[in-house]
């Protein structure tokens, strides 16, 4: 039987992990919601909206992914500090 979490334990779901999940979910939802960008105008440099909108999401997705990575790193450091301070495992 697993031990109940102690006062020094970090919960499995933390705000950092929730924000990281949302940061990864935003680009996915934006690209799967095709009706939001299924149009030709406005054009940028002669390129229809449908194409430049999708290309714009390439660097935007990278930014969201880096944000998720930093949030998870922050959470892992906090977990390691709690484990070290608590003397657990």
User: Which three-class secondary structure state does DSSP give residue 47?
Assistant: strand
- What DSSP designation does 48 have? -
In the chain, what percentage of residues exceed pLDDT 70? 88
In the chain, what's the furthest Cα-to-Cα distance? 64
Say if CB 38 and CB 65 are below 8 A apart.
Answer: no
What pLDDT is stored for residue 82 in this prediction? 87
| Domain map (residue ranges) of the chain | 15-86
| Residue 44: CA count within 13 A, CB half-sphere | 8
Q: Model pTM greater than 0.85?
A: no
21-32 burial by CB neighbour count: b if 16+ within 10 A, else e? eebbebbeebee
């Amino acid at each position: 039987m697993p031990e109940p979490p102690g006062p020094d334990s970090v919960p499995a779901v933390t705000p950092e992990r929730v924000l990281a999940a949302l940061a990864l979910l935003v680009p996915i939802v934006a690209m799967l919601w095709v009706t939001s960008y299924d149009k030709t105008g406005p054009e940028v440099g002669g390129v229809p909206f449908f194409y430049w909108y999708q290309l714009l999401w390439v660097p935007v997705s990278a930014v969201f992914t880096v944000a998720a990575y930093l949030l998870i790193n922050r959470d892992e450091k906090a977990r390691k500090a709690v484990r070290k301070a608590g003397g657990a495992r």
